[in-house]
Amino acid sequence: MAASAAFTTSCWRPWPSAPPAAEVGLRLRAACRADVGAMFHIRAHTQDNAISPERLAELGITPATLGAAFDDSAVCGWLAVDDEAQAVGFCNVDPASGEVLVLAVLSGQEGQGVGRALLEAAVTHLQSVGSPPPWLMAGVNPALRAHGFYRAQGWRPSGRRDAQGDEELRLDTD
């Protein structure tokens, strides 16, 4: 695994309410600027919907902009770290809007509870800080793993779509 995905001890803060992570041999912790390299590595190496650093830069997402967003608390996130101290997934949110910005799991780590644990930590945080109800944008292609994953976690289409055709999903709390 690339060094950029290695566990970063400089910002270790355990996330208190994520029991699913322990069940699958993971540790979740709050992410920080020092984790941006691992996030870019994971995002480029997901099974579905991998996005290269170059494509992210075209969208205005660079290590510098993401690091600044963490510094300003405009974005907060969680990193999943395995027993070998390797970052295997992350989830970032915008507390001001309640949006789950990205949930990404390293290829080969799917189906082990990583995404579920990260999403649960993100939603718990958004609810605990009084954010608006959690929402996210996701592709509509049922062949993508995320399509079924979010629905299995209780997320439902709101009926709204963005310019790219992605649909807004909201967490069903009923």
Shared domain check, 9 and 95: yes
Shared domain check, 138 and 120: no
- Which 3 state secondary structure label does DSSP give 174? coil
Indicate if the alpha-carbon torsion angle 148, 105, 118, 73 is positive or negative. negative
Shared domain check, 169 and 152: yes
> Tokens 């992350």 identify what position?
90
Shared domain check, 67 and 44: yes
Shared domain check, 150 and 85: no
Shared domain check, 93 and 160: no
What pLDDT is attached to residue 41? 94
pTM reported for the whole predicted model: 0.83
Indicate if the alpha-carbon torsion angle 74, 80, 48, 65 is positive or negative. positive
What pLDDT is attached to residue 44? 93
Q: In this model, does residue 2 exceed pLDDT 50?
A: no
Q: How many residues in total does the chain contain?
A: 174
The span from the CA of 6 to the CA of 160, in Å, is 38
Shared domain check, 105 and 69: yes
Residue 75 sits in a domain of what CATH number?
3.40.630.30
Q: Which residues, listed in sequence order, are joined to residue 168 by a DSSP beta bridge?
A: 137
pLDDT tens-place string over residues 62-91: 999 999 999 989 999 999 998 888 899 999
Structural domain range at position 122: 3-132
Shared domain check, 163 and 140: yes
Burial of residue 153 (number of CB atoms within 10 Å: 0-12, 13-18, 19+): middle
Q: Which two tokens stand for residue 50?
A: 């991998």
Q: Which amino acid is at 83?
A: D
What pLDDT is attached to residue 76? 94
Shared domain check, 57 and 141: no
Shared domain check, 120 and 62: yes
What's the structural domain count of the chain? 2
Closest Cα to residue 131, out of 89, 168, 171?
171
Shared domain check, 144 and 128: no
Task: Check: CB of residue 120 under 8 Å from CB of residue 28.
Answer: no
Shared domain check, 112 and 74: yes
